[in-house]
Structure 1
Amino acid sequence: MTTSASTHPELTTADQVRRVAVIAAEVFCVVGTLFGIGVIGTRVEESSGGALAATATLVAPAGPAFSIWTPIYVGLLAYAVWQALPVNAVRARVRSTGWLAAASMVLNAAWLLVTQQGWIWASVVVIVALALTLGTLVERLTHEPAGTTWDRVLLDGTFGLYLGWVAVATCANVTAALVDSGVDLGAAANQVAAVAVVAVAAGLGVLFARRLGGRWAVAAAMAWGLAWIAVGRLGDEPRSVATGIAGIVSALVVLAAAQRWHESRPGTRQPSRSLRAV
Structure 2
Amino acid sequence: MSAHTATAQTTTATSADIVRQVGVISAVTFMLIAAVIGVGAFGGTRVQDVQDDALSATGSYLAPASQAFSIWSVIYVLMVAYAVWQALPSQRADARQRVLGWWIAATAVLNGLWLVAAQFTTLPLTVLVIVLLLVTLGWTFHLAVQNPPRGVRQALFTDITVGLHLGWVALATVANSSAWLTQIVPAEWGQAADAVGIAVLVVVALVGVGIAIASGGRVAPGLAMGWGLVWIGVGRAFDEPESMPIATAAWIAAAVVVLVPIIVTATRFARNRA
TM-score by length of 1: 0.90
Among 11, 18, 21, the alignment partner of 1:16 is 18
* Partner SS for 2:41: coil
Decide whether the 8 Å contact of 1:47 with 1:118 is kept in 2: no
TM-score by length of 2: 0.92
RMSD between superposed Cα atoms in Å: 1.8
Among 41, 46, 60, the alignment partner of 1:39 is 41
Among 96, 104, 128, the alignment partner of 2:99 is 96
Unaligned runs of 5+ in 2: 1-7
Residues in 2 aligned to 1:185 and 1:149: alpha-carbon distance in whole angstroms: 52
Q: 1:148 deviation in Å? A: 2.4
Q: 1:203 deviation in Å? A: 1.4
Q: 1:184 deviation in Å? A: 3.6
Superposed, 1:1-278 pairs within 5 Å as 9-40=11-42, 41-265=44-268
Unaligned runs of 5+ in 1: 1-5, 274-278
Residues in 2 aligned to 1:200 and 1:171: alpha-carbon distance in whole angstroms: 10
- The residue type equivalent to 1:92 in the other structure is A
Residues in 2 aligned to 1:100 and 1:188: alpha-carbon distance in whole angstroms: 42
Q: Which moved more, 1:126-135 or 1:181-190?
A: 181-190
Decide whether the 8 Å contact of 1:22 with 1:98 is kept in 2: yes
Residues in 2 aligned to 1:138 and 1:111: alpha-carbon distance in whole angstroms: 20
Residue by residue over 1:38-84, the C-alpha shift from the partner in whole angstroms, topping out at 9 and shown as x without a partner, is: 11321110011111000110000000000000110000001001101
Decide whether the 8 Å contact of 1:97 with 1:137 is kept in 2: yes
Decide whether the 8 Å contact of 1:11 with 1:86 is kept in 2: no
Q: 1:265 deviation in Å? A: 2.8
Q: 1:248 deviation in Å? A: 0.5
* Partner SS for 1:265: helix
Residue by residue over 1:99-154, the C-alpha shift from the partner in whole angstroms, topping out at 9 and shown as x without a partner, is: 11110010000000000024111011110110111111111111122112221111
The 1:86/1:185 distance shift into structure 2, 3 A limit, reads: farther
Identity of aligned residues (%): 41
Q: Which runs of 4+ in 1 moved over 3 A?
A: 182-188
Decide whether the 8 Å contact of 1:46 with 1:52 is kept in 2: yes
Residue by residue over 1:209-264, the C-alpha shift from the partner in whole angstroms, topping out at 9 and shown as x without a partner, is: 11111211111000000010000000111100010001001011112221232223
